[in-house]
Amino acid sequence: MLKKFFLVATAILSGFCFLQAQDFSQYQKKRLVSGKDTLPYRILLPVNYNEKNKYPLIVFLHGSGERGSDNEKQLVNGGAFFLKEELRKQYPAIVVFPQCAEGSSWANISSRYDSSGHRTIIFNTRDSATIPMRLVEALLQKLPTIYRIDMDRIYIGGLSMGGFGTYELVRRNPGMFAGAFPICGGADPATANKLKKVNWWIFHGAKDDVVPPVYSEQMAKALKKAGANVIFTLYPEAGHNSWDSAFAEPTLMPWIFSNSK
């Protein structure tokens, strides 16, 4: 457990240093207010954005280390990827990074650890959504009233805590998404039938000791059995930070854009 703590702490510190050096000013700072709750989010519009055109929407859910209310940390992992000039020119899209509140989670899950530190994840699929999840759903309803979004090309992805949130968001909103790319996440395999209409690219590191890869393996198997289109990439030498390998995939953006309802 101590080793895991230092690994996570190091990752957070490294991410903070990277964030300080990276210019994310092109991501506009916004906030969604719903009653007493607020969802900070950053939005990146396409180069030469034209309000007369329709654009695909990509929503990305960050991991637990980027929770907060500063409306900055959620860009640590993935923010630079979607800023790449060549990608923005070839694949114009509206990209949104919401930020989950400290102490909360995108997905309604809990964890249990045995004496050796092995983690078992419990999926509370019958419970109500978390406040951050409900806020993301509200944001997805609001954005098409502000921007011209291609409703047949809405995509969702996320890493770690956001990977779990990706599955849950798709399950709770059937028919909304054309493609999903969870990284080092997981879900209850019994929910696969509710997820089968979406095209999936699932990523995980074989040496992940924070979120065991079995959670992605069993979802890939269950989704294929349910009839979904699934790509499963397991990186043999990657640990929990398999998002580095996923974002290095040269066909990730082409794959995302290839999906349409």
Residue with tokens 């990305």: 60
Q: What is the DSSP letter of 189?
A: G
Q: Residue 126: its pLDDT value, please?
A: 83
* Closest C-alpha among 48, 45, 21 to residue 147: 45
Evaluate whether 100 touches 131 at the Cβ level (below 8 Å).
no
Q: Residue 116: its pLDDT value, please?
A: 85
In the chain, what are the domains?
2-258 (3.40.50.1820)
Q: How many whole angstroms separate alpha carbon 217 and alpha carbon 230?
A: 11
- In the chain, % of residues over pLDDT 90: 88
Own/partner contacts of 219-225, CB < 8 Å, gap of 24 or more, are: 219/167, 219/186, 219/187, 219/189, 219/192, 221/189, 222/189, 222/190, 222/192, 223/192, 223/195, 223/196, 225/192
Which residues of the chain are modeled with pLDDT < 70? 1-21
Tell if the pTM clears 0.75, that is, is over it. yes
Q: Residue 21: its pLDDT value, please?
A: 57
Evaluate whether 62 touches 90 at the Cβ level (below 8 Å).
no
Q: Residue 115: its pLDDT value, please?
A: 86
Q: Residue 2: its pLDDT value, please?
A: 40
Evaluate whether 79 touches 22 at the Cβ level (below 8 Å).
yes
CA angle (205, 207, 208) in 5-degree steps:
65
Q: Residue 209: its pLDDT value, please?
A: 94
Q: Helices 131-146 and 161-172 sit at what angle, rounded to 10 degrees?
A: 70
Characterize 159-173 residue by residue with b for buried, 16 or more Cβ atoms within 10 angstroms of its Cβ, and e for exposed.
Answer: bbbbbbbbbbbbbbe
pLDDT per residue as tens digits for the range 90-124: 999 999 999 999 999 999 999 999 888 889 999 99
Evaluate whether 119 touches 112 at the Cβ level (below 8 Å).
yes
Q: How many whole angstroms separate alpha carbon 166 and alpha carbon 150?
A: 20
pLDDT per residue as tens digits for the range 2-19: 444 434 444 444 444 444
Q: What is the DSSP letter of 22?
A: S
Give the DSSP per-residue string, 126-180.
TSPPPHHHHHHHHHHHHHHHHS-EEEEEEEEEEETHHHHHHHHHHHHSTTS-SEE
- In the chain, % of residues over pLDDT 70: 92
Q: Residue 22: its pLDDT value, please?
A: 82
Q: Residue 42: its pLDDT value, please?
A: 98
Q: Residue 9: its pLDDT value, please?
A: 45
Q: Residue 118: its pLDDT value, please?
A: 86
Q: Residue 10: its pLDDT value, please?
A: 44
